[in-house]
Amino acid sequence: MRHCLIFMCAVIASPIGAQERLPVPEPLPVPELAAGVCAPCHTVDGIGKDVEIPNLAGQHVIYLYNQLKAFHVGARKHAEMKIIARDLTDREMRELAAYYASLPTH
């Protein structure tokens, strides 16, 4: 609730008609796994090399994490992704999801 009040005060106090642009966030540093394990198919930029390989860049972080988790536990079936995801730690899955979510979609 307090955060809402602070936000509302900031909105009210801002000049009417001000057209400030929010800064575009910089992509996160490339995790080693993204460069070494994911990049052969999804590239470091998160754009799949083939129509059968999904683009990861700009996807929602929770979606990406949930997909990695599903491959990890075997709930989602894909031969290559099962091999890649089965040994990932929860932290690695979160880092990969955050990294690919931070990338521009081009």
Residue 30: name the closest of 48, 13, 42, 17 by CA: 42
Domains (range + CATH), the chain = 31-106 (1.10.760.10)
pLDDT digits (tens, 9 = 90+) for 20-56: 565 555 667 788 888 888 999 999 999 998 999 999 9
Whole-angstrom distance, CA of residue 70 vs CA of residue 64: 10
Angle in degrees, CA 33, 51, 106, rounded to 5: 65
Whole-angstrom distance, CA of residue 62 vs CA of residue 83: 21
- Structure tokens of 19? 């057209």
**Which pLDDT score is estimated for 87?**
92
Mean pLDDT of the 62-87 span: 96
pTM: 0.72
Contact by Cβ (8 Å): 100, 64: yes
- Find how far residue 25's CA is from the centre of its chain: 13
**Which pLDDT score is estimated for 27?**
62
Residue 95: name the closest of 70, 71, 58, 68 by CA: 68
